[in-house]
Amino acid sequence: MSMQFEIVVRNSTPMIIGWYDPLKIDPQGLRATEIKGLWRWWSRAFIGGVLYDEGFLHGISQGNILLKPTNEEAECISCLVGKIMGLGFAGGGKDAEASRFVLYTEPIEKLLEKNKCGDELQRIKLSLPIKRRKQEMQIECIKSGYTFKISVSKRYEKYRDAEELALKVLVVALQLMGLGKGSRRGLGSLDIEDIDTLYFSVATNRLKELISKIYEDCRNIVKKYYVQCCKLSVAKVKEGDVQTPPPLPVVSRKSIGDLKVAQIIVARNISFKNIHNFFIRSERCRILHRKVKCDDDLRKNYNAWILGLPRKQKQKQKQTGYEMEEFSRRASPIMLSYHGDGNRFGKGAFISIFLSGDWPKHLTWYGLIDKQQKYIKENIDIDFNRLYNAYHIAIDEFMRYLNAINAKIEHVWP
């Protein structure tokens, strides 16, 4: 079946699409490969959420990793996303399948000039090479306001219901996460200005309804194609066992105690800079404690790792921050996109928070005590109770921060 699906987007925040030179942007603007990666990530999150809620996704503790998917679980998710939804499956031999979708991007407005971004936003500053941050240097970026067209065509049809589901996931993915460097901190956010509505049975300007519809469609897909893709069984939970989170970020309806496994909220009536800079301790201190330096709840309990790893820097030739084994990095469980007036789903900060067990069991924190300039280290052991406590502290501090900047909060999921 021939199909052409188009989305017109406009970047609502500065976009840094890396190139061979870290200070320059790719002249292509939007890259199809980045959009495909975003698309697959959210497809796995939705399919994984259904599997977790139905009792099929448990994970395994291995090495320094608290929880990771088993080979069978990973294969099941990959098959449902890659073979059934059509996003490409890298199975061995004859099982491998290329994506049934062809995606390409084109700017509607030409990038007439090479824009420069200063370091007023935390993640842009971090994009500068360390040796150059103290110099008056700027990094190339695509400033807000450029329009792009994203076109998707289907090479052939195999599972129409699953392929139409995939298109819905693409829309939500573009709404909830940006592209390029700093995309989890709101950089590279794309306002959805125009979209084909042929494949949507719910209003495409109501995000809550669209996400609920995607989840229910994923349940139907899992039920219909489970035998074809999966060899998992529901594990029996013994009385007294600690309830475990999913082994990867998923869009789930479940809660563990009073912690939601996944939640999506929209914070309106706030500026991008205010919400983007929550992840800087000095900014949190300024907003919550009216001073630039403080030991907030995340710092006092050595729980700042929950905002993403690694979090390291050099001070006076000494390494400070967190170190870990078997992990090169671990992204923050709090993801942010920020949209303007032209966005189909409205203006504001769109925030996704995921509770999952894919964290290291052991960390080492190195730091300096300001008054004494004493270099210290702290060994940190993470189990499920420590993980849940860190999430509680981070989410509580984040919500207090939103209230302090007078954000109007709307709950989208669950």
Question: What are the pLDDT digits (tens) for 384-406?
Answer: 999 999 999 999 999 999 999 99
Q: How far apart are CA 358 and CA 67, in angstroms?
A: 5
Prior bond of 107 cis (ω within 30°):
no
Extract the tokens encoding 33. Answer: 């490969």
Using the predicted structure, report yes or no on whether residue 359 has a pLDDT greater than 90: yes
pLDDT, average across residues 7-18: 90
Tens-place pLDDT, residues 73-118: 999 999 999 999 999 998 766 678 899 999 999 887 766 555 767 6
Using the predicted structure, report yes or no on whether residue 380 has a pLDDT greater than 80: yes
Question: For the chain, what is the total number of helices (H) and then of strands (E)?
Answer: 9, 18
Confidence band, pLDDT 50/70/90 cuts, at residue 192: very high
If one counts the domains in the chain, the total is 1
pLDDT, average across residues 174-196: 91
166's CB contacts (< 8 A; 6+ apart) are 39, 43, 85, 86, 87, 101
Q: How far apart are CA 240 and CA 342, in angstroms?
A: 51
pLDDT at position 2: 57
Confidence band, pLDDT 50/70/90 cuts, at residue 167: very high
CB atoms within 10 A of CB 363: 23
Angle at 111 between CA 105 and CA 112, to 5 degrees: 155
Parent domain of 206: 4-136+145-413
Q: How far apart are CA 364 and CA 112, in angstroms?
A: 47
Tens-place pLDDT, residues 226-283: 999 998 877 655 555 568 999 999 999 999 999 999 999 999 999 998 898 888 888 8
pLDDT at position 151: 94
Using the predicted structure, report yes or no on whether residue 139 has a pLDDT greater than 80: no
Three-state secondary structure call for residue 414: coil
Q: What is the DSSP string of 187-254?
A: TT-EEEEEE--TT-SS-TT-HHHHHHHHHHHHHHHHHHHHHHH----PPPPPTTPPPPPPSS----S-
Helix (H) or strand (E) holding 149: strand 147-154
pLDDT at position 28: 75
